[in-house]
Amino acid sequence: MIEFKNVTKVYTTGTEAVHDATFSIDKGEFAFLVGSSGSGKSTLIKLILKEEEANSGNIIINGKDITYLKPKRVPYLRRSMGVVFQDFRLLPDKTVYENVAFAMYIVKSTPKHIRRRVPDVLAQVGLTEKAKMYPNELSGGEQQRVALARALVNNPSMIIADEPTGNLDPDTAWDIMNLLTDINARGTTVVMATHAKDIVNTMKKRVIQINKGIIVRDDKKGGYNSEV
Amino acid sequence: MRFNGFTYLISEGFSNVFKNKKGTVISLITMICAMFMFGAAFAIGQNVNHVMEQVQASQGIEVFILDDATDEQTNTLEAEIKKIDGVSTVTYKSKEQALESAKEAFKEYPDAIAGYTEEYIFPASFIVMLTDLSKAEGVESTIATLENVKNIRSSNDTMNTLLKISNGIRIAIIVVFAGLLVIAMTIISNTIKLTVHARRKEISIMKYVGATNSFIRGPFLVEGIIIGFVAACITIALVTIAYDYVVAGIEASDILQTMNITLLHYSEILKMVSVVYVILGIGIGMFGSAFSMKKYLEV
């Protein structure tokens, strides 16, 4: 599903953010990307999203080598993945319903399909009641659930989450984690970059740890080991 | 499915116009100002051309015919003059007509030509009109070589001066035109850049959700086109009012009336101005938003 082969990324400033990274995440897996700030987690996410270009090595997503993907094809790559960020990134002047429907407009779904699908997803994240509210009327956890609904609405094969619980209090963070677990249980691959030690330790999922750009650990059922 | 995309594009473009009121107003005002100046330069240019045409049309060369030339020789001369490149019309002026026009010219001072009215002492001539003032010298020297020509009277200096003035004005207008175009494009592209910058978050979200560049650009283009079109319409209205006012003022002046020169009526340039404006407005709006978006699409 996601395969990195000897990937190295050096920014134009000279910083080597990722050095010779090799790992693969299979379909239906739940994987944590852990590491301290500046370790290269975000760069890994950006490489998966094709927001940054690798300097060397190959990145294969859904069986396709995206290393030399034409810029024009990037939007189609991103449609195969749902993305969730720490800062939610919702459109402030659109309602919850519109924010989710927006992702469907973009991939040119029919209005009929949108009308059916959006309420389903909102129900899945438990926001049916809040469909007509605006993001600033919602709590952080609710906003993140809207972002999750948006990520899910086009049935992506994987969810890429960059510190999705970073701005949330522990209880709310667990709500989001439960949703992600639920989504994963339905067969969607989940890749989540995080700092949250307790979440990683409790979930007992695969952990890929990166430190100073180097993958230092890859445990099938690991915990967050910040000592390494 | 396509239709859905199209409706999205149009409705989103329209709602952008209203959502972003400040940006819309700034863009509108800058566009109207630039296009108004543009229109002024255009109107002046068209009128200068028009006036020059009239002045040129009234500038002829008078070719006097030898008194002893036969009718046949006169006809030959006429045919030869007509053949010269740059000659538009040749009108015969008989001795009788020459006398009549002399009488007419001196009608307030009949004494001045008192002794000359009985005989036809004024020679017959051809009034030669030119297609183009710049060919005057060539035509004149060619005529001078023909037979039965007594002498030639032309207003060479006037012609040259007029030619210089009209060329100078044309060049000045082209320079002003080009300058204004650059200024207008710069201001508008910057204004739209601000608009796009204000919406960079929205654009980056669209990119992450998998929107293609053309999909993102679409509503902004529609927005630019709408603003450009509205600006064009408003400018046309403003120019119409201003033009009639200014032209009425100028035409009332003595000089133009004495010279028997008219300015273009607005309806004569309206069609041209409207076409230019609509193309310009839509073009500036469209390219302005396309160029200013480029940077933000590289996410």
Percent share of chain A, pLDDT over 90:
79
Query: In chain B, where are the structural domains located?
Result: 2-55+161-297, 60-154
Burial of B96 (0-12, 13-18, 19+ CB in 10 A): exposed
pLDDT(B33) > 80: yes
Q: How confident is the model at residue B3 (pLDDT cuts 50, 70, 90)?
A: very low
CB atoms closer than 10 angstroms to residue B156: 14
A110 touches chain B (CB under 8 A): yes
Is residue A219 within 8 Å of residue A200, measured between CB atoms?
no
pLDDT, tens only, A190-200: 999 998 889 99
**According to the model, what pLDDT value does residue A4 have?**
95
Q: What kind and span of H or E run contains B85?
A: none
Phi, psi angle pair for B135, to nearest 5° = -95, 5
- Name the minimum distance, in Å, from the CA of A53 to any CA of chain B: 11
CB contacts < 8 A, A to B, total 48
Confidence class for position B156, pLDDT limits 50, 70, 90: low
**Residue contact B206–A106, C-beta within 8 A:** yes
At B274, list the tokens: 């409207």
CA distance B188 to chain A (A): 26
Shortest distance, CA A93 to any CA of chain B (angstroms):
9
Q: Distance from A198 to chain B by nearest Cα, in Å?
A: 29
Region B60-154: CATH code: 3.30.70.3040
How much is the pLDDT for B4?
Answer: 58
Rounded to 5°, angle at Cα A148 from A145 and A150: 115
Is residue A40 predicted with pLDDT exceeding 50? Answer: yes
Q: Which pLDDT score is estimated for B155?
A: 66
Looking at residue B1, its pLDDT comes to 37
B36 C-beta neighbours (distance < 10 Å), count: 18
Residue B176: what pLDDT?
Answer: 79
pTM for the whole thing? Answer: 0.67
Taking CA–CA distances from B203, the nearest residue in chain A reads: A91
Rounded (5°) CA angle A26-A27-A32? 60
Long-range CB contacts for residues A168-175, cutoff 8 Å, separation at least 24: A168/A140, A168/A141, A168/A144, A169/A140, A169/A141, A170/A198, A172/A139, A172/A140, A172/A141, A172/A144, A173/A141, A173/A199, A174/A199, A175/A141, A175/A145
Would you put residue B86 in left (φ > 0), alpha (ψ -120 to 50) or beta?
A: left
Contact call for B19 and A93, based on CB within 8 A: yes
CA angle at A18 for the pair A12 and A21, rounded to the nearest 5° = 145
- Written as one letter, the residue type at A61 is I
pLDDT of residue A140: 93
Query: Could you tell me if A25 and A201 are in contact, meaning their C-beta atoms sit under 8 angstroms apart?
Result: no
With 90 as the cut, is the pLDDT of residue B55 above it?
A: no
pLDDT at B159 over 90: no
Is it the case that residue A215 has pLDDT exceeding 70? yes
For residue B53 the two structure tokens come to 């045409």
Number of C-alpha atoms within 13 angstroms, CB side, residue B115? Answer: 0
Query: Strand order of the sheet with strand A56-61?
Result: A16-25, A2-10, A56-61, A64-65
Give the distance, in angstroms, between the CA of residue B74 and the centroid of all CA atoms in the same chain: 41
Report the pLDDT averaged over residues B24-48: 81
Chain B residue with minimal CA distance to A114?
A: B4
- Mark out chain B residues that contact chain A at CB-CB < 8 A: 1-2, 4-5, 8, 19, 201-202, 204-213, 215, 299
Residue B199: list chain A partners with CB under 8 A.
Answer: none
pLDDT for B258 = 66
Residue B5 has pLDDT above 70, yes or no: no
Predicted ipTM of the assembly: 0.84
- Closest Cα in chain B to A149: B209
A17 pLDDT exceeds 60? yes
Q: Which residues contact A148 (CB under 8 A, 6 or more apart)?
A: A82, A84, A125, A159, A164, A176, A179, A180, A183
pLDDT in tens, A115-151: 999 999 999 999 999 999 999 999 999 999 999 999 9
SS3 A154: coil
Chain B: residue whose CA lies nearest to A107: B211
What's the whole-number mean pLDDT along residues B266-274? 78
CA distance A143 to A135: 6
CA A106, CA B200: separation in Å to the nearest integer?
A: 17
- pLDDT, tens only, B182-193: 777 777 677 667
Inter-residue contact B149 to B68 (CB < 8 Å)? no
**Of A27, A85, A80, nearest in space to A50 by CA:** A80
Contact residues on chain B for A110, CB-CB shorter than 8 A: 1, 4
pLDDT tens digits, residue range B231-247? 889 988 888 888 888 88
Mean pLDDT, range B75-98, rounded to an integer: 81
Average pLDDT of the segment spanning A57-79: 91
- pLDDT of res. B117: 62
pLDDT of the residue at A226: 52
- Please give the Cα distance from A32 to A18 (Å, whole number): 17
